[in-house]
Amino acid sequence: MSDDTTHFGYQTVDKGQKATMVADVFHSVADQYDLMNDLMSMGVHRLWKRYAIALSGVRPGQTVLDLAGGTGDLCALMANKVGPNGKIILSDINRSMMQVGRERMVDKGLVGNIEYVQANAESLPFPKAEFDLVTMAFGLRNVTDKAKALRSIQSVIKPGGRLLVLEFSKPLSDTLNKLYDSFSFNILPKLGEMIAKDADSYQYLAESIRMHPDQDTLKEMILEAGFDHCDVHNLSGGIVALHRGFNY
């Protein structure tokens, strides 16, 4: 792969194309995104997200950036924790997803301390050391230049702040890995076709997970981006991992 190309699932594409191709995926599935998450994880994604927030250390009065915030699951979990004197920015590169998130937050009555910013994680439009916490759930694997995004994120986190990356990862056992592969490539695209009328987007999802760095590789990338410490928490046998990066 050259410096000008990257992965889009198993395809090799020009770096300049990937963001548009990923955008097309999420424009297509935005309206059915939450339902599909429930179906393909059997609801367990909600437990993964609650666990992440439990380890976030988020407190009243803090300023939080929820990157790739999509339909707002993490944002909804944190809104009451930061309280009226805190602030959460729900940010996503995809306007369709962010619009669904905004509508969900309004429906839940979460309107006082949440703002919305469409932004690319690789070049965040925020001052340095602005946030106590940055969260990113199931979004990093879609970023074209992950190393650049992690450096951008590190720069906007305050000393003493932290990053949480919740993302699909590598199952810890061969048996689980084989079962997971069978589900991902045989069942998931069919669910996408039935529910979201889009099998291709969920084929891409399965492929993008396989192309994402494993637990140890992502930990090293977080440290190389300038974080002082990173710990890793495997969930559901490593199907998902929570990485926490700390700025000291």
Q: Fill in the amino acid letter for 103.
A: E
Q: How confident is the model at residue 17 (pLDDT cuts 50, 70, 90)?
A: confident
Tokens describing residue 165: 């990356």
Concatenate the DSSP letters of all residues of 2-19 into one string: -TTEEEETTEEEEHHHHH
Q: Where are the alpha helices (DSSP H) in 108-242?
A: 146-155, 174-182, 188-191, 199-211, 215-224
The residue written with tokens 């915030």 in the block is 69
Q: What is the pLDDT of residues 139-187, one digit of tens each?
A: 999 999 999 999 999 999 999 999 999 999 999 999 999 998 998 888 8
Selection from 61, 60, 69, 55 nearest residue 163 by Cα: 55
Give the per-residue pLDDT at 21: 74
Q: Which residue has the higher pLDDT, 224 or 100?
A: 224
- What is d(CA 77, CA 247) in angstroms, rounded to the nearest whole number? 23
Taking the alpha carbons at both ends of the chain, their separation in whole angstroms is 36
CATH no., domain 5-173+201-246 = 3.40.50.150
Q: Domains of the chain: which residue ranges?
A: 5-173+201-246
Look at strands 5-8 and 240-246 and give their pairing: unpaired
